[in-house]
Amino acid sequence: MLDDKIFSMKEDIISSVQDSIRIKSVLDEEKEGMPFGEGVHKALEHCLSLSEALGFKTVNVDNYVGYAEYGQGEEMVAVLGHLDVVPEGDGWTYPPYAAEIHDGKIFGRGAIDDKGPTIGALYALKAIKELNLPLNRRIRVFFGLNEETGSKCVKHYVDNAGELPVCGFTPDAEYPIINGEKGIVGGKYRRKLRQQGEIKLSSINGGIAPNVVPDYAEAVITLPHSKIDDIKKASEGVEEIKLEEKEDSLIVKAYGISAHGSTPEKGKNAISHLLLFLGKLGFEGDTKEFLDFMNKYIGLYLNGEGLDIYLEDEISGKLIFNLGVISGNSQEINLQINMRYPVTKKYEDFIDTFKEKMSLGKLEEIYLGYKGSLYVSPETEFIKKLQKVYEEKTKDKAELISIGGGTYAKAMPNVVAFGPIFKGELLVEHKPDEFIAIDSLIKNVQIMAAAMYELARD
C-alpha cells in the first residue's frame, strides 16, 4: 500500500530533488536572518514551501532549522535530514548544480548527501498522510542547515527548548542501522614563518574542507634558477607531483584522490604528498622546521601513529586522522584537521598527547572542538523496530554497525543513522560526480515511510 503510493509519486519526487540540488547551499557569509548564508537559506525556503504545498504544518526555527509535521499525539518521531552541502570542488563530468539525469542517476552536489534522502523523507510522510494511516505519535521531518560544518542548526533547536523526539533516524549514512558513531575532533592551527633560506615558500593551498581527503594541493616557491633542474630531477618518478615553471617561480602541484574524511584509506591525501615532496627540496629556517615536523609526525599516517594517539576498539575500529585543508604564504601557514576516535574511547584518552605533539611543531592552536562518541544499545526498542522494517523491505539481515562518520544522531537524543546507502553501492558523497540512483531513491522513500509508520503508530 505505502510502496504503491510512493511509486505513484515518482516523478514528483525526482523533480523536487532536482529543484533542491539546483540551489547551491554551501556555508557562506552570515547575513541578517541567514546564519549560514544566502544559498543555504534559499534551500530552507524551498523545502518549507514544498512542505506547505504538500499539506504539512511547517515551522522555521529562527532560520537555523525548519521542519514539516504531520500526525497526532503527545510524543514525536524525528527524521533529521540536511540541506547544506560541502563545496563542489573540481573534476565533475556533469555540472554540480544542474541536477542532470544520466543512466538513471541524478547528478549533483547533495544528491545523496543529503538532499535526495531529505526530500524523499518528505514524500514518505506525504504517502502516510494521503493513505490516512493511523498514528499515535507526530512525525517531524527536519531540514537542517549546518550538518557539514558543525550541526549548529540542531544544537540551536535543542538549546532553545525544541521538543525532543522519543525516537527517530537520520537518513544520512548507510544501511542497515548505525548504532555507533566515532567521536569527532576538529582543529585549526597556524605556523608562523619568520626565516626562510635561498628557496622560499611564496604560497601553499589545498583541500576544500577538513572532513574531505584533498585531491589537489599546490605550492608556489621562488628559488635561484640554478636549482630548478635539481627539483625537476627530484620529481622524476613521483606520480603525485607535477611541476610548472614560471619566470621567477616554480609551481609544485600534487594530485590525490578525494574521499570522505571518515574513510581516508579510500583516498590519497594530496596535501600530505605535497609536504613530503617539499621536504626533499632543501628549505631552510622555519619552513624546514615546519616540513620536518609535518612529515615526521603526520606524513601519510591515517590513524595517528606518528602523533602517538593511535586508538582502536572491536566495535568501531581505529582512530582516524585527516589533514583536510592547508593555506598560507611567506609569513604563515594554516591547517585544518579532522579526527575520529573509537566509540568506546574518550576525548581525554588522547587529547593531551595530541596537544603536546602539536606544540613540538610550534603550531598555534586557533580552534579545537569535539563531539563525543555515540553508542545506542542493540536492545533499545526503536532499534529493533528499524531492524524489523529493514529486514522486511530488503530481505537482508539488519546488522548493527559503527562508523567513523558523524551524523545528526550526535546532536539530538534518541536518534540513529538509517540509510540511505545500500550495501554494495558506491560511496560518492563529497566526491566529484556525486549522484543518487533513481531506483535507490524510490526504494529509500519506501523504507523511510515504513519506518516512520512503525515508529509512530505505537
What is the chain's mean pLDDT, rounded? Answer: 95
- Residue 139 is placed in which grid cell? 512525525
Element at 53 (helix H, strand E): helix 38-53
pLDDT recorded at residue 234: 86
Confidence tier at 388 by pLDDT (50, 70, 90):
very high
The answer to whether the CB of 422 falls within 8 A of the CB of 335 is no
What is d(CA 165, CA 75) in angstroms, rounded to the nearest whole number? 7
Longest dimension (CA), the chain: 80
Partners of residue 107 on adjacent β-strands? 435
Average pLDDT over residues 145-161: 92
Q: Which residues are catalytic?
A: 84, 147
Residue 357 has what pLDDT?
97
Contact 39, 26 (CB under 8 A): yes
User: What's the average model confidence in pLDDT over 82-100?
Assistant: 96
Average the pLDDT over 392-408 and give the result: 90
Whether 214 shows a pLDDT value over 90: the answer reads yes
State the Rg of the chain over Cα. 24
The domains of the chain are located at 2-181+374-456, 184-371
pLDDT tens for 313-363 read 988 999 999 999 999 999 999 999 999 999 989 999 999 999 999 999 999
Task: Determine whether domain 184-371 maps to CATH 3.30.70.270.
Answer: no
User: Fold for domain 2-181+374-456?
Assistant: Aminopeptidase (3.40.630)
Rounded to whole angstroms, the Cα distance separating 88 from 97 reads 9
pLDDT at 406 over 80: no
In this prediction, residues 376-390 reach a mean pLDDT of 96
Quote the pLDDT of residue 266: 94
Residues with Cβ < 8 Å from 283, sequence gap 6 or more?
Answer: 196, 197, 199, 201, 291
Closest CA to 261 of 187, 337, 343: 337
Q: Are 362 and 223 in contact (CB under 8 A)?
A: no
pLDDT score recorded for residue 162: 81
**Predicted local confidence at residue 237, as pLDDT:** 85
**3-state DSSP call for residue 157?**
helix
In the chain, pLDDT over 90 holds for what percent of residues? 88
Q: What percent of the chain has pLDDT over 70?
A: 100
Return the pLDDT at 194: 87
- Asked if residue 326 lies in contact with residue 399, where contact means CB atoms within 8 angstroms, the answer is no
Which residue in 275, 271, 134, 110 sits closest to 206, CA to CA? 271
Identify the pLDDT of residue 225: 82
Q: Judge whether residue 226 has pLDDT over 90.
A: no
Grid coordinates of 165: 523526539
pLDDT of res. 198: 87
Cell numbers linked to 97: 548544480
- The confidence score (pLDDT) of residue 236 equals 87
In the predicted structure, residue 371 carries a pLDDT above the cut 90: no
Q: Of 38-47, 187-196, 288-297, 329-338, which gets the smallest average pLDDT?
A: 187-196
Q: Is the pLDDT score of 100 beyond 80?
A: yes
Q: What is the rounded distance in angstroms from the CA atom of residue 96 to the CA atom of residue 76? A: 36
Read off the pLDDT of residues 230-259 as tens digits, 9 standing for 90 and up.
Answer: 888 888 889 999 999 887 789 999 999 999
**Cis upstream peptide for 114 (omega within 30°):** yes
Q: Give residue 227's pLDDT.
A: 82
The whole-number pLDDT of residue 302 equals: 97
Mean pLDDT of 97-106: 98
How many Å apart are CA 376 and CA 382, to the nearest integer? 10
Q: Are 337 and 322 in contact (CB under 8 A)?
A: yes
Q: What is the rounded CA–CA span in Å between residue 421 and residue 127?
A: 22
Of how many residues is the chain composed? 458
Residue 17 and residue 389: Cα distance in Å, rounded? Answer: 24
CA–CA gap between residue 146 and residue 152 (Å, rounded): 6
